[in-house]
Amino acid sequence: MQKITTTLKKLFYLWRRSQIPIKQPNKISEIDNLIIFLISILISIVSSYKLLLISPLNLSDIFSWLLTFTEALISSGILIVVSKKENPTINSRQIILIITLLLAVQTSKLAFSSTISPLSIIIPPALIISQAMGSITALAWVSIASLSWPDPGIAINNNLFFISLVGASVVSLLGGRIRSRAQLLQLSIFVPIGAFLSQWILMDKDKIFLLEKQEFFLTNGKIFSDSLLLAIVMLFTILLIPIFESIFGLLTKARLLELADKEKPLIRRLSLEAPGTFEHTLLICGLAEEATRMIGGDIDLIKTGALYHDVGKLHAPNWFIENQEGSNNPHDEINDPFKSAEVLQAHVDEGLKYARKNRLPKPIADFIPEHQGTLKMGYFFHKAKEKNLNINEKDFRYKGPVPQSKETAILMLADGCEAALRAMNINASDNEALETITKIIFSRQKDGQLNDSNLSKGEIFLIKRAFLNVWKRIRHRRIQYPTTKNNTFS
């Protein structure tokens, strides 16, 4: 009996954990909620108004109109819930984008359904949504956009409808995984070719009939022009994606990878003006990437976030120990712990300014304050304490917030462990390294820094193992290989 209760408790715990979003959901203002509601009402009107144009209108017509209207309204609601579930930090602009695309599609169906194939109406928006919001949201969008047709009088070819649904689903699934603009281009070529071939094959049974009616070549031509139009609209959509990214603050995989390019001006400046910080950043990238892979987090996000986490140090590189290279430490010269604490906090504040100036997306900018959380600047706090016992601990803590996601929490832990692992003796055993890592992580945990991150105990265990693996790699790299007599390497 006890076993059953324990299992049930465990299952309930797992279920509850799965319900907790990784990040605190963004608050949506009342105005934005009103706009979203009004667009949803418009979608319902567009989807159902034709049912009221029947004359004479009887009670059953009004009932079926009401049913379609409510169905469209509920569908918009479901779409918003699914998108929020997949992206807990989704903002109002992004929700407005999703439902505006739905409104646009419903309107296009009314305006062009007799001239344009549903392929070109449904597939391109699915590509935008999958890139920006992920595959699940895109699939939900595709099912609603495909199943809800405003005009029941529009005769849709069953085969064509099926191909559109499959094509849009494939684009939704692949679009969420695509990592570069080149892959996007490949998709915009292969999907139309696939659509052309499948239409041609599925049309097979009608061929004889069409041949008899001498419409075979005409229909083939239509299939070809439909597929060509799909390719053109998809290419056009790919060109528009960067504009959508900047207007709606979208963070596509391609954008993440572009930002991670080390030739980006801000990163280039970091490598030239603060080489120590740049080195520290690269090591942290390695630690954070390994840990994120272990827990199944967003690797591209953390790699890019890690690259920008300390850009704020550019405002005064030599005030940070990694850039001093034996030169005088300005903190010793001013001998004022309060001023020193201000300089440390400034690397967060200035970092956020750099992020704004360089138009870094919010999920990347979040790494800047959250990697420091509300950590205590221990060294300067103790120095101040030596001088004056009545000091406020708050003056020596970063302003926060504490990490709000698993990724920013991992970065905080990697940031804490990096210096300790780098300074570690090359002959230190694995156990010693693990002990150091555990000590640092435990101190962060005890300080409440991981409270909002939603990291489980199991995940913290995996993060420790990941850091240890990276340490083993660092140690291996530091071992000097014996050279051969004539100094040649193979």
* Chain positions contacting Fe ion, by CB under 5 A: 310, 415
Q: Which is nearer to Fe ion, 310 or 350 (CB)?
A: 310
Q: Which is nearer to Fe ion, 86 or 310 (CB)?
A: 310
Shortest Å, Cβ 48 to Fe ion:
55
Shortest Å, Cβ 412 to Fe ion:
9
- Determine what percent of the chain falls in helix, strand and coil, rounding each to the nearest 5: 75, 0, 25
Q: Which is nearer to Fe ion, 108 or 324 (CB)?
A: 324
Q: Which is nearer to Fe ion, 370 or 415 (CB)?
A: 415
Q: Which is nearer to Fe ion, 350 or 459 (CB)?
A: 350
Q: Find all residues with CB under 8 Å of 26, minimum gap 6, and list them.
A: 89, 90, 91, 92
* Contact (Cβ atoms closer than 8 angstroms) between residue 98 and residue 83: yes
Query: From residue 190, how far is each of 70, 129, 233, 315, 369 by CA, in Å?
Result: 37, 19, 14, 48, 43
Shortest Å, Cβ 318 to Fe ion:
15
Give kind and range of the element (H or E) at residue 183.
Answer: helix 181-202
Alpha-carbon gap, residue 120 to 122, rounded angstroms: 6
Q: Which is nearer to Fe ion, 226 or 415 (CB)?
A: 415
Q: Which is nearer to Fe ion, 300 or 310 (CB)?
A: 310
Q: Find all residues with CB under 8 Å of 155, minimum gap 6, and list them.
A: none
Cis peptide before 401 (omega within 30 of 0): yes
Amino acid letter at 419?
Answer: A
Query: From residue 62, how far is each of 40, 57, 68 by CA, in Å?
Result: 20, 7, 10
Shortest Å, Cβ 391 to Fe ion:
22
Shortest Å, Cβ 415 to Fe ion:
4
Shortest Å, Cβ 285 to Fe ion:
11
Shortest Å, Cβ 350 to Fe ion:
11
For 57-82, b/e burial (b = at least 16 CB within 10 A) is eeeeeeeebeebbeebbebbeebbeb
Q: Which is nearer to Fe ion, 415 or 459 (CB)?
A: 415
CB-side exposure of 479: number of CA atoms within 13 Å?
9
Q: Which two tokens stand for residue 92?
A: 């109002």
Shortest Å, Cβ 341 to Fe ion:
13
Alpha-carbon gap, residue 104 to 34, rounded angstroms: 19
